A and B are shown apart, each in its own frame.
Chain A
Amino acid sequence: MNFITNLIGGLSLGGIYAMIALGYTMVYGIAKMLNFAHGDIIMVGGYTILVFTARSVHPIIAIILSVIFCVALGISVEKVAYKPLRGSSPLAVLITAIGVSYLLQSLAQMIFGSGTKMVQGLDLGSFSIGSLKIGVSTVVTLIACFMVMIALNLFVKYTRIGRAMVAVSEDKGAAQLMGINVNFIIMITFAIGSALAALAGTFYLMRSPSMYSTFGSLPGIKAFAAAVIGGIGSIPGAMLGGILLGVVEVFAGASVLGPYTDAIEFAILIVILLVKPTGFLGKKRREKV
């Protein structure tokens, strides 16, 4: 019975990681950069929910506002910090992303203080099937994550903008020759990634409702590991990697290895990188000259 509870919990946590990992992987695939400020978008989303629920705004509305705010933030960060660096060395962009990450964390500390704050109104209770006790939020997370992933796949496969995203990720120059506005596609990618981060932040808060300025760091770095395990740049890879890490985390946490959960997750990353450096579904790309 414990097995089923853990499996549902693991898939649900994995869904959260997968949603964050999608943000990393899509931005990498399309803008060819590692957005290390992505985890902090989750944190900003969490604080947005905190601000509104503390003013007795209905949680659903707070979640919608948090998504809107994160999308606006993601687009602004891209415009202000990353776009001017387009075409410069990847290292410059990487350092800038780390800078944005610290900037957002410091701003959060200045505004909300360094203490932990509790978010109210996201506890949905739990239900029992026989001797099985399952949190409602776990099931909601699981269903929502899978719906989002299916929607994203359909979007990429069947819409004009989705197809343009694939084209840009493969060959920016050739995509421009098709009449695709690459800057617009990159903006859309940041918007989608940030919306997913805001949703992931919400679901993460449902598991543990405490907010602090480095709230997004651990899920962010784990999701990054998940994206690399699945093959960075690959959308199905991010989903696979995220779910794998989530399931491993919950099962390891429930076993005697509990205290070493994080170590086990990152050990998986190291092993995968040793055995298959491109990740499960990653492709070896020829660098064009």
Chain B
Amino acid sequence: MALLEVKNLEVYYGVIQAIKGISFEVNKGEIVTLIGANGAGKTTTMQSIIGLIHARSGEITYNGQLISGMPAHKIVHLGMTQVPEGRRIFSELTVYENLMMGAYTKKDKEKIKENLDEIYALFPRLEERKNQVAGTLSGGEQQMLAMGRAMMSNPDLLMLDEPSMGLSPLLVDQVFDIIKHFHEKGTTILLVEQNANKSLAISDRAYVLENGRIVLSGTGAELLASEEIKKAYLGG
């Protein structure tokens, strides 16, 4: 059964239609990627799913429950979360405080501690710098913090919006390794990426977005082999 289902989603900014009726689903245990150029509507789609912006029409269901129109903080309580574009860590809070904000929906102290230890084991740099103000971290460390913060809520569905943006190739590899690690732990992943090569390689399925429409879909391997994709996104 689909964990997340998007049906005929249409989103407007004022009179401009950013999303022109897209439908897709993410099944439990999958890694699904939305790829597309700048302005294709990837971030808009992600923000509509989590409730930060509201769609004009269409239905979004999560675990069979209708979530379109719900405020973001309630959707997060249902067990999904998002690593937003540009990381958006709390730069005035310390690394530790940022991670604890990620566990805001959680009440069980022992479980929180357990999650925290797990995040620290995965990102030793964050533990080294736990009392440092997050704004002073490097870009790569901030991306790790944003991912760790999201995982503190133990989500069933983790959405990542361009996690590799602005990172060096070495760090990009690390980010994809961590996404794979979260996936192996049983987290369902919805990924938005411009790095089509790397994201398709780890995806079960993918959708290609162009000007607010889905123009192509298939398994990660199919899309990697597709001539159109090669031309448009993989540089030949």
Could you list which residues of chain A lie within 8 angstroms of chain B, going by C-beta atoms?
160, 163-164, 166-167, 170-171, 173-182
Contact = CB atoms under 8 A, between A and B. Distances in A.
Contact of A163 (B82, B100, B150): B100
Contacts of A179: 73, 76-77, 104-105, 153
B40 interface: no
Interface stretch (B86-94, B197-205, B224-232): B86-94
Contacts of A173: 52, 72, 84, 88
Given A163-B101, A177-B82, A182 B73 contact: yes
A166 to B, nearest CB: 6
Contacts of B71: 176, 181
A171 B104 CA distance: 15
B154 to A, nearest CB: 12
Nearest to A185: B73
Contacts of B149: 178
Contacts of B101: 163-164, 167, 175, 178
B97 interface: yes
A237 B149 CA distance: 29
B194 interface: no
16 contacts: A160-B104, A164-B104, A167-B90, A170-B90, A174-B84, A174-B89, A177-B72, A177-B150, A178-B102, A178-B104, A179-B73, A179-B76, A179-B77, A179-B104, A179-B105, A181-B73
Contact of B73 (A163, A166, A170, A180): A180
A176 B76 contact: yes
A223 B92 CA distance: 25
B90 A174 contact: yes
Contacts of B104: 160, 164, 178-180
A28 B164 CA distance: 34
Q: For B72, B81, B102, B153, which residue has the most chain A Cβ atoms within 10 angstroms? A: B72
Contacts of B102: 178
Interface residues on B, range: 20 to 34
Nearest to A184: B73
Nearest to A177: B82
A176 B51 CA distance: 9
A167 B149 CA distance: 13
B50 interface: yes
Contacts of A176: 51-52, 71-73, 76
Given A163-B101, A182-B73, A177 B50 contact: yes
A233 to B, nearest CB: 11
Contacts of B93: 163, 166-167, 170
A182 B104 CA distance: 13
Given A163-B101, A164-B104, A177 B92 contact: no
A174 B101 CA distance: 10
A179 B50 CA distance: 11
B86 to A, nearest CB: 8
Contacts of A166: 90, 92-93
A87 to B, nearest CB: 11
Nearest to B152: A178
Contacts of A177: 50, 52, 72, 76, 81-82, 84, 88, 150
Nearest to A173: B52
Interface in B90-112: 90-93, 97, 100-102, 104-105
B71 to A, nearest CB: 7
Nearest to B150: A177
A167 B71 CA distance: 17
Given A163-B101, A177-B72, A178-B102, 15 more contacts: A163-B100, A164-B101, A170-B91, A171-B88, A171-B90, A173-B88, A174-B90, A176-B52, A176-B73, A176-B76, A177-B76, A177-B81, A178-B153, A179-B77, A179-B104
B124 to A, nearest CB: 24
A163 B101 CA distance: 8
A170 B102 CA distance: 15
Contacts of A170: 90-93
A22 to B, nearest CB: 18
A21 to B, nearest CB: 20
B190 to A, nearest CB: 14
A164 B91 CA distance: 14
B204 to A, nearest CB: 25
B109 to A, nearest CB: 12
Contacts of A171: 88, 90
Nearest to B83: A177
Give the top 10 A-B pairs by smallest Cβ distance, nearest first: A179-B105, A176-B72, A179-B76, A174-B88, A178-B104, A181-B73, A179-B104, A178-B101, A170-B90, A179-B73
Contacts of A164: 101, 104
